[in-house]
Structures are given as C-alpha cells and as structure tokens.
Amino acid sequence: MEQSLFEKYGGFGAVSRIVMRFYDQALDSDILADYFEDIEMERLIDHQTKFVASLMGGPASYTDDMLKQLHAHLDINDEAFDEMATLFRATLEEAGLDPDDVETVAHEIVRRRPVIVKQS
C-alpha cells in the first residue's frame, strides 16, 4: 500500500507547522490580511490543518459543498485566491516537500477555486 503525503511528511504535527507558517505570511500580505480581521486564528488554523491534511491523503475530509459554504461570506476574489495559492506553494517548498508533492497539493488547492472564489 502506497504511503500518503500526509504520512510521508509526518502527519498532523508537520501539517500544522506548514499551516501556521502559511498564516504568518498571509497575515503580512496586503492582499490577504483583511480577510483575517476578527478571526479566531487558533480555530482557523485547526480547521485549515485538517483541510490541508485531507488534501495530502490524511483522515480529515472536506467536501466542495462544505468549502463553498465556509467561504461564501468572505467575498474572496481571484486576486486573493491567487495570492493565497502562491503563498501556500512557497510554504510547501520552504517546508521541504519534494517538487512533485508540492505540485500535487497545489493542484488540489487550485482545483477548489470555483467553490472558494465568489462567483459574480
């Protein structure tokens, strides 16, 4: 049986460190910072860790319908999504994921653009 990326890179602890590093960068971004005003970051990091774990083959699961509902009120535009995707890719690279694994996870994030970005 093939090892998942979640297992390969160390499970929830490693994914949590990646997510925390991503949010350090997102909070410094002129494009993204406003999305996180008045947000309980500890709770968000917990949810995002589970989401990223699911993208990496871990035990958590988020359906597209759930993602759409969770992001609907945020009015996320393409510019913000692109910034998020760029920062997340850089965070994965910085964390030492193999290039092919970075591509796999980045593709899974980009694939969800239609349910995260507000459609006009």
User: Would you say 68 and 112 are in contact if contact means Cβ atoms under 8 Å apart?
Assistant: no
First-to-last CA distance in the chain?
Answer: 43
Per-residue confidence (pLDDT) for residue 62, from 0 to 100:
83
pLDDT one-digit tens code per residue, 86-103:
999 999 999 999 999 999
pLDDT one-digit tens code per residue, 9-50:
999 999 999 999 999 999 999 999 999 998 999 999 999 999
Residue written as token pair 């005003």: 37
Domains in the chain (CATH in brackets) are 5-116 (1.10.490.10)
Provide the 8-state DSSP code for 64.
H
Length of the chain: 120
Residue 32 CA to residue 96 CA, distance in Å, equals 24
Q: H or E segment at 25?
A: helix 11-28
pTM, rounded to two decimals = 0.90
